[in-house]
Structure 1
């Protein structure tokens, strides 16, 4: 009797652990990658939108770190992305440029900081590409080139 109950509890615990660990707890596939601009890692703060091409889906978003790496997020507290095809695009205004250096006279010193995304084709804000997301872990690098 005790061994049957023990086996049932162990099986339940293993099934619960597999469910939580298998999908990172969100129940959604994961998506990570690196964004490059002209072969170099994109700066921190480049925002990307992954929109399902099928009706009824919800988009996921990502933002690059200082090494150009990203991880898709389904919501503020849930990592992941829906399975299926997604249109990938940049989100305008996503990179904050640094403030100019101010001299002792209170005026900017040198030229104003350049927006690192300013030389990219405008089509990147409409669609870069369409990618397919499978169950489990997905990796996709995004290579952008200047005009």
Structure 2
């Protein structure tokens, strides 16, 4: 990347999204059997890093299902985590088409928070019952 360009931080705009999509599709047509070179994309997309381009593409633009997880997907994620608590988010996302590792991670973190709040509520209820008896 050219050193005299400043890197844009923050949200992407519609024009940047369209340009990124166009450049990725162009790259895929030129090199159909290769992994996308995000360094190459960075050089074409000005003011964004290769990491920003890759994350925008994989988490927001490319075949991403942003609707809420279905009950089946949620139970599948929970079961996979139960079977192997250290399974990477990427491996779970590979089994759920249209879902990104970021979606999986956010679901797991939300579930952990719900679980902690539930445990706290139970403890509080138990302490109130103990005091009243």
TM-score tier by shorter-chain length is under 0.3
Q: Which has the higher contact order (CA 8 A, sep 6+)?
A: 1
With the length of structure 1 as denominator, give the TM-score of the two structures: 0.22
User: Greater strand share, 1 or 2?
Assistant: 1
* TM-score using structure 2 length: 0.23
